[in-house]
Amino acid sequence: MPRKARNISNTKVYHIIFRGNDKQDIFFDKQDYKKFIKEIKRTKETYKYKLYAYCLMSNHIHLIIYDQENQLSKAMQSLAITYSSYFSQKYDKVGHLFQNRFLSRNVENKEYLIHLVRYIHQNPLKAKIEKTEKYKWSSYNEFISKEKLTDTKLILSFFGTEKEKAIENFVKFHRLEEKEANYAEYEIINRLTDERAKQIVETVLGIDNIIKLKNYNSSIIKIELKKLKEIKGTTISQLSRITGINRKIIERAMK
């Protein structure tokens, strides 16, 4: 069966996840982490993408990428193949290092993006490995001090026009209690994929194309949106993303 085409993000921003095959570790020592970072730098230069945030964990990887040249698949394939070859040679391993193809999730709005950045940076803290600011293998400290691999300008601009104040607000945002910070985590771990959510919404509403919904008049849209309230595994942010309807309209309809 041919591989299903990846959904294209309207913003060209994607959350990329690599997982070790059968949950195996993909990094064993500092050299491994440094090798993967070196390959990110290489693929950034070759495929002209921007890296908005990253976190390398022992058995999985998070990247937020702006695919400005529409070469995401080639870039990620090159990254995976080169690192897998290095890993196999170093540890005399056979078989696949990564679990299938990389996982890609569209990032369609600012709110989701900034929560996602925090979620990624807090991975070591949530795993009880290290405090966010002390973990070596994430982009967090590039936002606080000196940019090396990560393109920090856009994210920091969301926190203030003056750099010092933006950094201060960025740090405060990352220190919020988990009950205030679980928005992105819920979407990443529990939510339906965008494609599956679209299929369910179309079935619930009895339409053949979800985009038709935003062309209805406002009173009909409100009635239809209420029908989506009980769909499990989706969020208002995701419904906004896949329908093209402002999230505030969806929030009001679902009250």
In this prediction, residues 239-255 reach a mean pLDDT of 85
Q: How far is CA 67 from the centre of its chain?
A: 13
Higher pLDDT, 142 or 218: 142
Q: What is the pLDDT of residue 188?
A: 56
Tokens 């990560």 belong to which residue? 150
Model pLDDT for residues 55-73, shown as the tens digit of each residue: 999 999 999 999 999 999 9
Average pLDDT, the chain: 87
Other Cβ atoms less than 10 A from the Cβ of 135: the count is: 20
Q: Does CATH place domain 13-188 in 3.90.226.10?
A: no
Residues 59-81 as b/e (b if ≥16 CB within 10 A, e otherwise) read: ebbbbbbbbeeebbeebbebbbe
According to DSSP, the β-strands at 60-66 and 103-106 are unpaired
- For the chain, domain boundaries: 13-188, 191-253
In this prediction, residues 15-40 reach a mean pLDDT of 94
CA–CA distance, 253 with 198 (Å, rounded to integer): 18
Q: What is the pLDDT of residue 16?
A: 93
DSSP string, 185-224: HHHHHHPPPHHHHHHHHHHHHT-S-GGGGGGS-HHHHHHH
182 has pLDDT over 60: no
Closest CA to 160 of 146, 143, 147: 143
Q: What is the pLDDT of residue 141?
A: 97
CA–CA distance, 223 with 123 (Å, rounded to integer): 39
